[in-house]
């Protein structure tokens, strides 16, 4: 198991190099330059060129890319073109907002999707199953940005019971968390139902029932433990994706998280800030997926034994 973890951590090196090359190339090919974005449309071209020269933005592509990789290996990811501050300082300031959104969205989606999915599988073809299935399909089909706007309109503007902008209080997180959690809870519900239906039809479930085990024990101790493996993978992917995928929600609710930082940095052509944010999120995502694999090994002893044999 330890060798597997070390191997996965070493794989971060080519992954991060690939991310650097891809993102750097995309930023290089996009139109615009930091000098024009910083000085505005009233600045002369000479002033813009001088500003870009000070930043080293006018150097050839391969020179800039190689210089960035070399400095990155030394822990120097540059200074933000827009703020003039170290890029990771901005990331650490905004990380708590995004992590809070992601954690509570995942918890809420699990609280909604997991028990209803189990109930739908146990009560297959019942009224509860039909209602939950239809509701899950509707929630999965609703775009997040539209749902966020509707929640803002109803709870924030008409009822005026929840704030719709900022991240100053706990109440500011209610609507964004609901917006993120509802569509994903539908996915978790459908996945849990499908995996539970498959699990409860296995031979070991029939054996447990034949031995006189209580139905609750059969469902939660035997069936659920095996049905959770795909759910854990999906939730891990969802959580890792949320850390870098809340851009639309943070823009709608004007929340100062990593998504808003990424959006503003791309608009300003702030290459060092964009690069540092993407690299940070890539490493975080890889670590989260490694933790998902470790959690799965504890849930299913067969996975742990396979790692041990390797």
Task: Indicate the number of domains in the chain.
Answer: 1
Domain membership of residue 71 (yes or no) is no
Question: Alpha carbon 108 to chain centroid distance?
Answer: 15
Contact 155, 105 (CB under 8 A): no
- pLDDT per residue as tens digits for the range 222-238: 777 777 788 888 888 88
Domain membership of residue 8 (yes or no) is no
Domain membership of residue 165 (yes or no) is yes
Q: Residue 255: which CATH number?
A: 1.10.3720.10
Q: What is the pTM of this model?
A: 0.81
Give the other-Cβ count within 10 Å of 142's Cβ: 14
Domain membership of residue 104 (yes or no) is yes
d(CA 125, CA 250): 39
- pLDDT per residue as tens digits for the range 109-138: 999 988 898 888 888 888 888 898 888 888
Domain membership of residue 169 (yes or no) is yes
CA-based nearest residue to 223, from 204, 250, 241, 247: 204
d(CA 250, CA 258): 8
- pLDDT per residue as tens digits for the range 165-207: 888 888 899 999 999 999 889 989 988 888 888 888 877 777 8
Query: Containing domain of residue 247, as a range?
Result: 89-260
Domain membership of residue 56 (yes or no) is no
Profile the chain (310 residues) by mean pLDDT over runs of 10 residues. Answer: 75 86 86 78 84 83 88 83 84 90 92 89 85 87 87 89 86 91 90 86 79 77 77 85 81 88 85 88 85 75 59
d(CA 206, CA 28): 61
Could you tell me the two tokens for 191?
């996945």
Domain membership of residue 233 (yes or no) is yes
Outline where DSSP puts E strands in 91-210: none
Cβ contacts of 5 within 8 Å, gap of 6 or more: 290, 294
Domain membership of residue 73 (yes or no) is no
Give the other-Cβ count within 10 Å of 13's Cβ: 9
């Amino acid at each position: 198991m330890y060798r597997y973890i070390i191997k996965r951590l070493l794989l971060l090196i080519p992954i991060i190099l690939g991310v650097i090359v891809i993102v750097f190339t995309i930023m290089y090919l996009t139109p615009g330059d930091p000098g024009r974005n910083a000085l505005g449309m009233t600045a002369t071209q000479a002033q813009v060129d001088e500003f870009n020269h000070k930043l080293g933005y006018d150097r050839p592509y391969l020179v800039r890319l190689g210089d960035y990789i070399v400095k990155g290996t030394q822990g120097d990811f540059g200074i933000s073109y827009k703020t003039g501050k170290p890029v990771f300082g901005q990331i650490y300031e905004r990380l708590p907002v995004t992590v809070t959104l992601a954690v509570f969205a995942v918890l809420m989606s699990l609280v909604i999707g997991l028990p209803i999915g189990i109930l739908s599988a146990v009560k297959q073809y019942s009224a509860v199953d039909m209602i939950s299935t239809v509701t899950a399909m509707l929630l999965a089909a609703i775009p997040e940005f539209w749902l966020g706007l509707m929640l803002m309109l109803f709870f924030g503007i008409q009822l005026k019971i929840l704030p719709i902008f900022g991240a100053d209080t706990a109440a500011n997180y209610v609507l964004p968390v609901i917006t993120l959690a509802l569509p994903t809870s539908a996915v978790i519900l459908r996945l849990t139902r499908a995996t539970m239906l498959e699990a409860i039809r296995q031979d070991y479930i029939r054996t447990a029932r034949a031995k006189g085990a209580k139905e609750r024990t059969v469902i939660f101790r035997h069936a659920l433990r095996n049905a959770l493996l795909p759910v854990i993978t999906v939730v891990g992917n969802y959580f890792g994706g949320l850390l870098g995928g809340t851009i639309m929600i943070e823009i709608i609710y004007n929340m100062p998280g990593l998504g808003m930082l990424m959006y503003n940095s791309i608009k300003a052509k702030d290459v060092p800030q964009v690069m540092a944010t993407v690299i940070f999120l890539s490493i975080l995502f890889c670590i989260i997926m490694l933790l998902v694999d470790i959690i799965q090994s504890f849930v299913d002893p067969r996975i742990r034994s396979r790692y041990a044999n390797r």
